[in-house]
Copies of this chain bind each other. A is one copy, B any other.
Amino acid sequence: MGSPYHQFCPVAKAMELLDERWTLLVIRELLAGSRHFNDLRRGLPRMSPTLLSKRLNQLVASGVVERRRDGREVVYSPTRSGEELRPAIELLGAWGMRWTGVLGDVDLDPKLLMWDLHRNVDRALVPSGTTVVQFDVTDVAARQGQWWIVLTPEEVDVCDADPGHEVSATVTGSLRSLVEIWRGDRTWIDALRAESVTITGPERIRRLIPAWFRPGNFAAVPRPDPDLVA
């Protein structure tokens, strides 16, 4: 649906469908499990809803995404074709991890961090009842500096306003430190030891937090020899 390249090369034909701005990130979100318009928006905060809508329509038209109504809801999901993009997107992400250098401050978005942290929680490790973990991001304007993740074995939610429940533990750190953990640049253990991130709360919970809030899927990508990057 992008402009045509007038090439029969399959790479060109693939890129006609995929290389417009945001397109592959929309697919990434779908492959990560988002199914509703507003969930997708949360994973793509800087994308205007108009554009998201347009991209979704394009992807449906090109057979990469399926749109279904489920009662009053609309459900987007990757088709077989979309699902087959997963390995390519994983390679691109691994490449990005290895070769795109140091993140700029503008890349550090607390909304996205919280959204991804909550999405990766291993619910099997969450005790029954409700547990609330507060995140204090120290170097971010108030409105984006406090978050609560509400965990139950059935469900994990993010809130940007105090959910009311008692807070079981609080994680405090700079946005960059938290993102570094997500990226696998350093482990929870290292960050806690260096006190770039701290956790307050009962030891039982403190110990579980690194297990709940696992690093992102690319954290394990081996980094290139530093000589090559410089």
> Footprint of B on A, CB under 8 Å?
2-25, 28, 46, 63-64, 80-81, 84-85, 87-89, 91-101, 103-104, 106-109, 112-113, 116, 179, 182-183, 216, 218, 221, 224, 228-229
Question: Besides the contacts A6-B106, A7-B46, A81-B224, what 6 more A-B pairs have beta carbons closer than 8 Å?
Answer: A9-B116, A12-B25, A14-B95, A81-B98, A84-B99, A88-B91
CA distance A14 to B218 in the complex (A): 13
Whole-angstrom distance between the Cβ of A89 and the nearest chain B Cβ: 6
Stoichiometry, copies per complex: 2
Of the candidates B2, B63, B95, B112, the one whose C-beta lies within 8 Å of that of A85 is B95
CA distance A96 to B11 in the complex (A): 6
The interface residues of chain A, by DSSP majority, are classed as helix
Whole-angstrom distance between the Cβ of A225 and the nearest chain B Cβ: 9
